[in-house]
Structure 1
Amino acid sequence: MKFRRIAAIVLTTALVVPGYTYVADAFGVNAPSGVDVSTWQHPGDQPINWHAVKADGQSFAIIKATEGLGYVNKHFAEDSRAAAEAGLLVGSYHMGRATSDPRLQAAEYAAVLRTQPQPSLPPVLDIEYNDGVSPAGMQAWIRAFVDELRSLTGRTPVIYTYRYFWENEVGNTTEFNDLPLWLAAYQSAPPTVLPGGWDYMTMWQRTGSGRVSGIPVDTDMNLFNGTDSQLQDFVAGTQLNLTPVDVPGIDELAAFGQANPKLVGAILAAAAGVVAVGTILTVARDMGIDIGPAQALVETVQQLIAEGKLPVGDLQNMLANGTYSVGDLIILLENVAKFAG
């Protein structure tokens, strides 16, 4: 399946241009669409054809720059240059790891940013792993990283996260809701419940399994909450006040917006040996999830059970809460599987 006219974000080391506030046509049918990529989109070091990505209707590309301390994406410089030459607006993100110094991570990220073509989208802090750090510790870590990155770049960073993680691992703090939010929510319609006191999303990561010409494997797909001109304002540092409106749905993602207790219950029952793992597939299909994503979910659960890494505590929290979506569940399990790998 292909998703056109969706959207994303990223960064630069240029100074913020003082801006103003106004209301946008949020997530309209012509909302700018973009991808975000990392080494996962380079299987066997295969290059991305960025001209094909642009021709497939994408407006921007957010490229992973750094992670933790000491890791720089080996494809960052080439992807940034080639995407910019293809006419895409480029950006980047840093994946934070809270067990090492936040200020050193911010400094390393800022240094790498200086190599990216300009103009670029605001810098992004990707925060989706806690590495055993408490919610209070996560809040202190984010605060230190954001303060240092602002000092080094003069720019206000974007926070990338997903609802379950922010509410449970960051304590659902509202301290950072003055920063733009890039929310991962795998579903057809914009989520109506946001974490952390945010009133709206600036960016929406709509799926982790989009297909775009020029990228050899699945990739994340994003929508910018505004228009093309407002996306340019965002690059310049204008703080946008965006309000949500309906966006055309994607049929394949419609089931992902459902509450997930039935599916979580089946996973926990399978992990306890009460039912066969195949029951998960049956429940997923009964909920309207397409066969491909349903099978992928079962395979991920089987992998995590076999490795003793299934996040039982998180699944029990989801089951007790009852309001998290199938998309939230998929993001949680995929992240655990990636970390375990």
Structure 2
Amino acid sequence: MMKSTAAPLLLAACAAHANPLQARSSGVQGFDISSYQDTVDFSGAYGAGARFVMIKATEGTTYIDSSFSSHYDDATSAGFIRGGYHFAHPDSSTGATQAEYFLAHGGGWTNDGITLPGMLDIEYNPSGSTCYGLSASEMISWIQDFGETYQSKTGRYPMIYTTADWWSTCTGDSTAFSEDYPLVLAQYSSSISTVPGGWAYQSFWQNADSYTYGGDSDLWNGDENSLQTFAKGS
């Protein structure tokens, strides 16, 4: 789903504070984008039934996506529920530092009903060791540092985007986040085979690396009313 400045990579799905939902191929259509998508047909996507957009905001502590503001404004004007995501670099600074950077550049959340909680894109290193040189326990601590900092500022835990393989490899399939952090699961297939980390289900599923109107395809695991409830945080 999310794109690093170094190379296109996968993103993942989020688990929500809602009634348990089953992994399924139906749901509300959405998509994710970054500056890799110069132009996006927001009105066409909305007309086709898409209702949410995840937009890259930041990466590490040195990169602000050049298209974030325009994408965010255009998505809002078209009527979408939208939110920002941060591509993590756990080898470059603390989780807290990167959460603060994300929050300072578009990654915040409010309960206005049209804003998704921020998403932490934590996945394969685009330019080095798969796990950024961190042990499983160090990676878990880094993610907790990011998440607790984000929650302390917004009142809401961020979503975690990842793949089942990366999560198993780099966190030892940690179950430490399954209760509080919604899962955005990246798995390009016609159905979901593995939900990692003790999550009972994914909240969002990045099911394909292309979407007709721009970016990657994502599905909310529920109906439009439950998506609106999720955005509201109630």
Q: Please report the TM-score for the alignment, with normalisation by the length of structure 2.
A: 0.82
Q: 1:108 aligns with which of 101, 106, 122?
A: 101
Q: Is the 8 A contact 1:80 1:116 kept in 2?
A: no
Please state how far the C-alpha of 1:102 moved relative to its aligned partner.
1.4
AA aligned to 1:234 is F
- 1:1-341 to structure 2, matched below 5 A, reads 21-24=18-21, 27=24, 29=26, 31-42=27-38, 47-99=39-91, 100-113=93-106, 119-128=114-123, 129=125, 130-178=131-179, 179-191=181-193, 193-212=194-213, 215=214, 219-238=215-234
Q: Is the 8 A contact 1:25 1:227 kept in 2?
A: no
Please state how far the C-alpha of 1:27 moved relative to its aligned partner.
3.9
Q: Is the 8 A contact 1:160 1:181 kept in 2?
A: yes
Find the residue that maps to 1:229 and give its secondary structure: helix
Please state how far the C-alpha of 1:49 moved relative to its aligned partner.
2.8
Mean CA deviation greater in 19-28 or 171-180:
19-28
Q: Name stretches of at least 5 consecutive residues in structure 2 with no aligned partner.
A: 1-11, 126-130
String of CA shifts for 1:97-133, please: whole Å, max 9, x gaps: 1011211110111122378895301111110033222
RMSD, aligned CA: 2.4
Structure 1's consecutive aligned runs of 4 or more residues displaced over 6 angstroms after TM superposition are 114-117
Aligned to 1:244: none
Please state how far the C-alpha of 1:209 moved relative to its aligned partner.
2.6
> Which structure shows the bigger proportion of residues in helix conformation?
1
| Alignment CA distance shift 1:51-1:222 (3 Å) | same
Find the residue that maps to 1:39 and give its secondary structure: coil
The number of aligned residues is 212
String of CA shifts for 1:199-249, please: whole Å, max 9, x gaps: 11111110113322xx3xxx21011011100001101113xxxxxxxxxxx
Distance across 2 between alignment mates of 1:107 and 1:114: 9
Distance across 1 between alignment mates of 2:168 and 2:20: 27
String of CA shifts for 1:249-279, please: whole Å, max 9, x gaps: xxxxxxxxxxxxxxxxxxxxxxxxxxxxxxx
Distance across 1 between alignment mates of 2:30 and 2:60: 25
AA aligned to 2:30 is G
| Alignment CA distance shift 1:131-1:21 (3 Å) | closer
Distance across 2 between alignment mates of 1:74 and 1:181: 26
AA aligned to 2:53 is A
Specify which structure has the bigger relative contact order, considering alpha-carbon pairs within 8 angstroms and separated by 6 or more residues: 2
AA aligned to 1:147 is E
Q: Please report the TM-score for the alignment, with normalisation by the length of structure 1.
A: 0.58
AA aligned to 1:32 is V
Larger Rg over CA atoms = 1
Q: Is the 8 A contact 2:117 2:156 kept in 1?
A: yes
String of CA shifts for 1:137-193, please: whole Å, max 9, x gaps: 1111101000101111111211110011000112111111112111001100122x2
